[in-house]
Amino acid sequence: MTIQFHPAISQGEADQVAFDRAELGIILGLYGRMVASGEWRDYAMSFLRDVAVFSIFRRTAEHPIYRIEKRPKLKDRQGMYALIGMDGQILKRGHDLRSVLRMLERKLIRAVE
């Protein structure tokens, strides 16, 4: 997949929400570890007016198993980051992206015999 960074946003696109480089670094770091463990296979990103979404797929043709959402309008309330499950249920919400994604990192920890 190709990721395009837009360092300069024109006035007409200022309403579009996007992940910044630091946020993408955190998300893609976790994504890479999960791909290496064989859990995940593909992803998609959507940048809309009110929300940026990073969707995670087990297989390309399926529905996303997780969505990581950024909603800046909620930053003063529950937190602008949310981890949403396959069924649309909010699994974790918070102000810190790393703490929200910690729930997924637990899947990487397995007992070694």
The predicted pLDDT at position 66 comes to: 93
Q: How far is CA 48 from CA 71, 73, 92, in A?
A: 10, 13, 21
pTM: 0.78
Q: What is the pLDDT of residue 112?
A: 45
Instruction: Considering only residues 63 and 111, tell me which one the structure prediction assigns the higher pLDDT.
Output: 63
CA distance 52 to 74: 13
Domain ranges of the chain: 15-107
pLDDT at residue 3, as a whole number: 52
The pLDDT of residue 103 is 86
Res 29: pLDDT? 93
pLDDT in tens, 42-58: 999 999 999 999 999 98
Per-residue model confidence (pLDDT) at position 15: 74
**pLDDT tens, position by position, 27-84:** 999 999 999 888 888 999 999 999 999 999 987 667 899 999 999 888 888 889 999 9
**What is the maximum alpha-carbon separation in the chain?**
57
